[in-house]
Amino acid sequence: MATPDTLTAAQEAQLLVSRAEWEAIGRSTEPADRPTAEAAITALYAIAGKPKPLFFWVDGPAQGSLLISHVIRDDWETRTEADRQAILTARYPFPATIDTSEVRKHLSWGFWGQHEAYWAAYYDWPDRYVAKLYPDDLRHQLDQWVAIAKSCGWWHPYELAVVVCERPEIQTVDTEGRLHHDTGPAIRCRDGFEVYAWHGVRVPAKVITHPETITVAEITAETNQEIRRIMLTRFGHARYLRESGAVREQGDDTGDLYRATRTDDTDVVMVRVLNGSAEAIKTAEEVEGQDGTWVEAGWHKYYWLRVPPTVTSAREGVAWSYNVPVAEYENVLRT
Amino acid sequence: MVIGRSMAKTLMRPRLRLAASAPDERLVAITLWMVLVWEWEAFYSAYEETPW
């Protein structure tokens, strides 16, 4: 079939609309549309020449893997009703009474439902908006994959049964589409499984929820450079300098240069500068514990400028923060 | 009840046939930029690396 090699203006405009629609499908946190998902999955079984499977709905992949670890051991029939209910209602982290020893073997899922939206969108879009590409039987099959993407989360098929997950109840991304949340989980499944992420980098929960409890020792001990950078950001560069035994290397009339030497990573170098304007503060109690100092009757805040590790003077660092060479910075000061 | 073996490959085979009959290379190139990029790797790896 001849296919066009350019898009019309209307088709290009539609691409943007479609992309937004499919992003919303992939990031939906609505409860699953169970009738739609079951009909579509049953249709795929029919295409493969198989009868309708038995559906096991679970609140998320963690609960699903637990279920699969028991179902595919083929002992579902021999379990007590209490055991079955315990598995079907388990929430992550699982209680000690649940046997999770088999779960690790069953973490892989065949299909990702809404998280495979890119696949369905890619094959659906040109057929729908550019030119008819598929014979009726393939279009019918694609319709099922589209319906699944729009209706449920991860799923895995077996000969007689299929395990299907509810969609997560939280899914948040930053403006670049990376998993991110600055106060809570970026993903939380309905079975309790959570993922904490900072602009696409997975981090321990407390880095997000309780950054004030991070310690210098933990930052130093973290072997993953990306995670350590985020821990440092959450901890605060200025506080890190104060608490890590950073050395004051140099000082001049612009401020003081501090360096925290790190053996396996770039040094943290900052310039501490004093705000020229006093804060509207009347008593010492108001500023207790804050980073600043009294200059005669006025209280001034310190600001910390993170500068490149190659900087060797406070003046050079301040000039760098203005994006000008030191000589030019001197001229600015003079004029 | 014996649930039996995984059906993932069985369901995947017709899907691969569908993909094989899909857009020619030029149309793929045109539509490639609308392919949605998901950052779910963090989710997948978190899931598989969890100390169960």
Q: What is the pLDDT of residues A286-304, one digit of tens each?
A: 777 667 888 888 888 888 7
Across the range A67-84, mean pLDDT stands at: 77
Which candidate, A27, A31, A64, places its Cα nearest to that of A157?
Answer: A64
Residues from chain A contacting residue B25 (CB–CB below 8 Å) = none
In whole numbers, what is the pLDDT of chain A averaged over residues?
Answer: 87
Across the range A173-184, mean pLDDT stands at: 88
Q: How many CA atoms lie within 13 A of A143 on its CB side?
A: 12
Better-scored residue on pLDDT, A98 or A194: A194
Q: What is the DSSP string of A249-314?
A: EEEETTEEEEEE--TTSPPEEEEEEE-SSPBS---GGGGTTSSEEEETTEEEEEEEEEE-TT--SH
Q: What is the pLDDT of residue A84?
A: 82
Q: Which of B7, B12, B36 sits opposite A23 (nearest CB)?
A: B36
Q: What is the pLDDT of residue A80?
A: 84
Residues from chain A contacting residue B20 (CB–CB below 8 Å) = none
Please give the structure tokens belonging to residue B30: 């045109």
| pLDDT at residue A66 tops 80 | yes
Interface of A with B in 155-214 (CB under 8 A): 156-162, 173, 177-179, 186-187, 193, 195, 197, 200-202
Crossing angle between the packed helical segments A117-129 and A136-149, to the nearest 10 degrees = 140
Q: What is the pLDDT of residue A156?
A: 94
Tens digits of residue pLDDT in A183-242: 999 999 999 999 999 988 899 999 999 999 999 889 878 888 788 888 988 988 778 888
| pLDDT at residue B3 tops 80 | no
Better-scored residue on pLDDT, A245 or B2: A245
Least confident residue range of A112-116, A168-172, A219-223? A219-223
CA distance B21 to chain A (A): 7
Rounded CA separation B43/A180 (Å): 11
Residues of B in CB contact (< 8 Å) with A are 1-8, 10-15, 17-19, 21-24, 26-27, 30-31, 34-40, 42-43, 45-48, 50, 52
Q: Which of B4, B38, B48 sits opposite A160 (nearest CB)?
A: B4
Across the range A313-329, mean pLDDT stands at: 90
Q: What is the pLDDT of residue B14?
A: 87
Would you say the pTM of this structure is higher than 0.80? no
The answer to whether residue A47 neighbours chain B at the CB level (below 8 Å) is yes
Pair A6, B30: CB distance under 8 Å: yes
% pLDDT > 90, chain A: 43
Q: What is the pLDDT of residue B33?
A: 53
Rounded CA separation A179/A202 (Å): 8
Residues from chain B contacting residue A7 (CB–CB below 8 Å) = 30
